[in-house]
Structure 1
Amino acid sequence: MKTLLAILTVVGAIMVIWYAAAVPMNMGTAISEAQRAGVEVTPPEAQVRRDMSGTSLTLKNLGLISATWELKRPRLPAPHQVAIELWDTTAMKKVNSKRSLIYHGWVTLSATLLGFAFGTGLGILLAVGIVHSKVMDMSVMPWAIVSQTIPIIALAPMIIVVLYSIGIQGIIPKAIISAYLSFFPVVVGMVKGLRSPDAMQTDLMHTYSASQAETFWKLRLPSSLPYLFASLKVGIAASLVGAIVGELPTGAVSGLGARLLAGSYYGQTVQIWSALFAAAILASVLVGIVGLLERGLLRRMGLSR
Structure 2
Amino acid sequence: MRRAVLPVLAVLLVLVVVWYAAAVALNAPWARDQAGRAGVELGFGALVVDTMAQERPVLPAPHQVFRGLWDGVAGQKVTSKRSLVYHGWITLSATLMGFALGTAAGMLLAVGIVHSRAMDLSVMPWAVASQTIPILAIAPMVIVVLASMGVTGLLPKAVIAAWLSFFPVLVGMVSGLRAPDAMQLDQMKTWNASASQGFWRLRLPSSMPYLFTSLKVGIAAALVGTIVAELPAGASAGLGARLLSGSYYGQTIQIWSALFAAATLAAALVMIVGLIERVTLRRMGMAR
Paired AA for residue 32 in structure 1: D
CA offsets, 1:88-114, max 9 Å, x none?
Answer: 110111111100000000000000000
Q: How many residues align?
A: 287
- Structure 1: which 5+ residue stretches go unaligned? 42-59
How far 1:38 moved relative to its partner? 4.5
State the partner residue of 1:33. 34
Matches within 5 A, 1:155-304: 155-304=138-287
2:66 counterpart residue number = 83
Report how far residue 66 of structure 1 moved.
2.0
Question: Residues of 1 paired with 2:277 and 2:230: CA distance?
Answer: 30
- Within 2, Cα distance between the matches of 1:88 and 1:280? 17
For the residue of structure 1 that corresponds to 2:40, the secondary structure is: coil
Measure the CA separation in 1 of the matches of 2:96 and 2:41: 55
Equivalent residue for 2:84?
101
Specify the SS of the correspondent of 2:159. Answer: helix
Deviation at 1:31, TM superposition (A): 1.6
Cα distance in 1 for partners of 2:86, 2:13 equals 30
Q: What amino acid is aligned across from residue 32 of structure 2 in structure 1?
A: I
Please state how far the C-alpha of 1:39 moved relative to its aligned partner: 2.1
The TM-score normalised by the length of structure 2 is 0.98
* Identity over aligned pairs, percent: 66
1:62 deviates by 5.5
| Residue in structure 1 matched with residue 12 of structure 2 by the alignment | 11
SS at match of 2:7: helix
Give the SS at the match of 1:104.
Answer: helix
Deviations 1:69-123 (A, max 9, x none): 1111000000000000001110111111100000000000000000000000000
**Structure 2: gaps (5+ residues):** none
Alpha-carbon shift at residue 33 of structure 1 (Å)? 3.1
Partner SS state of residue 56, structure 2: coil
Residue 16 of structure 2 aligns with an amino acid whose one-letter code is M
Shift of 1:228: 0.2
CA–CA distance in structure 2, aligned partners of residues 111 and 156 of structure 1: 14
Determine whether 1:152 maps to 2:135. yes
Deviations 1:5-38 (A, max 9, x none): 1111111010000001111100011123334555
Q: Structure 1, residues 19-65: CA drift from partner, whole Å, max 9, x if none?
A: 01111100011123334555225xxxxxxxxxxxxxxxxxx856412
What's the secondary structure of 1:65's corresponding residue?
A: helix
Specify the alignment match of 2:105 in structure 1: 122
Residue identity opposite 1:201 in structure 2: Q
Q: What is residue 135 of structure 1 aligned with on the other side?
A: 118
Q: CA RMSD in A?
A: 1.1
Aligned to 1:67: 50
Q: State the distance in 2 between where 1:288 and 1:62 align.
A: 42
TM-score, normalised to structure 1, is 0.92
Q: Could you tell me how far 1:274 is from its partner in structure 2? A: 0.4
**For residues 13 and 167 of structure 1, what CA distance do their matches in structure 2 show?**
50
Q: In structure 1, the residue corresponding to 2:75 is in which secondary structure?
A: coil
CA radius of gyration, larger in: 1
Distance in 2, matches of 1:241 and 1:133, equals: 32
1:3 alignment partner AA: A
